[in-house]
Amino acid sequence: MYRILIFLFAFSFGFSDNTEVIAKNFDNDISSCNRFQIIRVLQDTTINYSLGDDVVWIKIFEGTPQSFIIINLHENEATSILAAKDIVNRFGGKFIFLSQKGERNISFKLGGNEYSFDPNRIFTREGIRKSLSNLGNYSFEAEEEVNKFAEFLLSELTKDSLFIIAVHNNTNGSYSINSFFNQYKQDVSNVYRNKSEDPDDFFFVVREEDFEYLKSKGFNVVLQDNQNVRDDGSLSVFCGRNNIPYINVETQVGKYQKQIQMLEEIKEYLSKPKEN
């Protein structure tokens, strides 16, 4: 049984709890954009999920209509959180993000030991084991605890059969479209780079049709090789293996306007009638 408490705040969309954490490293890009208007939000839900002896807050913002679900898994990637909230405010959809200590990784205590994991490395058993081991302690009990958490997240992400949009931020030059020409080359089947675009801003997709569309629009885009990708437990690996539509919108931290542009492009793409 999941140990959770749920709080509902109807027609609420303000920042709470970790406002200063979310905005801490956010640059002046947002100051020129006055888009935050409460238009379509139906409810703001907080799930207090007990993970070992600690708590993870799962925040869910829901608007209407709902044709997509946006997920942020790393709380320190502040730009993506703000951009996703804006998109749901204006166009509907659902946005889920995790909150604990304002950091990339989540930590918890269990049986007197402390464990940490990357929340984007928990959607396969292999990923859970690797993440726990790489970040410190590992035990089978901790693996089970994290697996239950992952299953709960997946139940929220897949229950309405919505298109999954992940949002992530990187730092300048650390992880970019160029990474897939060398370090991660074996994990992908196709890469398109538009040299007029910043290599830090790119889409990562699991379906060829999404790759071709975004390429035609001139965006940097990477297509995962779903058959041969290494199992790191990421959400893209899970979605690729299970034929779930998934797109990651990756931008350099602080580039709010660019992430908005890319999310708007996905919203437009999903609105187009599909050919039979």
> Cα separation of 146 and 162, whole Å?
24
Mean pLDDT score, 104-110: 98
> Cα separation of 143 and 113, whole Å?
13
C-alpha distances out from residue 185 to 9, 70, 128, Å: 45, 26, 23
Instruction: Print the SS3 string covering the chain.
Output: CCCEEEEEEECCCCCCCCHHHHHCCCCHHHHHCCCCCCCCEEEEEEEEEEECCEEEEEEEEEECCCCEEEEECCCCCHHHHHHHHHHHHHHCCEEEEEECCCCCCEEEEECCEEEEECCCCCCCHHHHHHHHHHCCCCCHHHHHHHHHHHHHHHHHHHCCCCEEEEEEEECCCCCCHHHHHCCCHHHEEEEECCCCCCCCCEEEECCHHHHHHHHHCCCCEEEECCCCCCCCCCHHHHHHHCCCCEEEEEEECCCHHHHHHHHHHHHHHHHCCCCC
* pLDDT of residue 27 exceeding 80: no
> Cα separation of 65 and 41, whole Å?
10
Judge contact between 201 and 258, C-beta under 8 A. Answer: yes
Judge contact between 128 and 115, C-beta under 8 A. Answer: no
pLDDT in tens, 197-217: 999 999 999 999 999 999 999
How much is the pLDDT for 64?
85
Question: 28-32, 158-162, 192-196, 257-261: which has the minimum mean pLDDT?
Answer: 28-32
> Cα separation of 126 and 134, whole Å?
12
The angle at the Cα of 240, spanning 236 to 245, to the nearest 5 degrees, equals 85
Residue 78: both structure tokens together: 């502040």
**pLDDT-derived band at 18, boundaries 50, 70, 90:** very low
- pTM for the whole structure: 0.85
Mean pLDDT score, 86-109: 95
> Cα separation of 141 and 53, whole Å?
13
Nearest to 200 by CA among 80, 21, 113, 24: 80
How much is the pLDDT for 30?
38
User: What distance lies between CA 86 and its chain's CA centroid?
Assistant: 15
* pLDDT of residue 186 exceeding 80: yes
> Cα separation of 172 and 115, whole Å?
29
Mean pLDDT score, 130-145: 98
The domains of the chain are located at 4-271
**pLDDT-derived band at 248, boundaries 50, 70, 90:** very high
The topology under which CATH files domain 4-271 is Aminopeptidase (3.40.630)
Judge contact between 23 and 102, C-beta under 8 A. Answer: no
Mean pLDDT score, 4-9: 36
* pLDDT of residue 8 exceeding 80: no
Strand pairing partners for 192? 221
The average confidence (pLDDT) of the chain is: 87
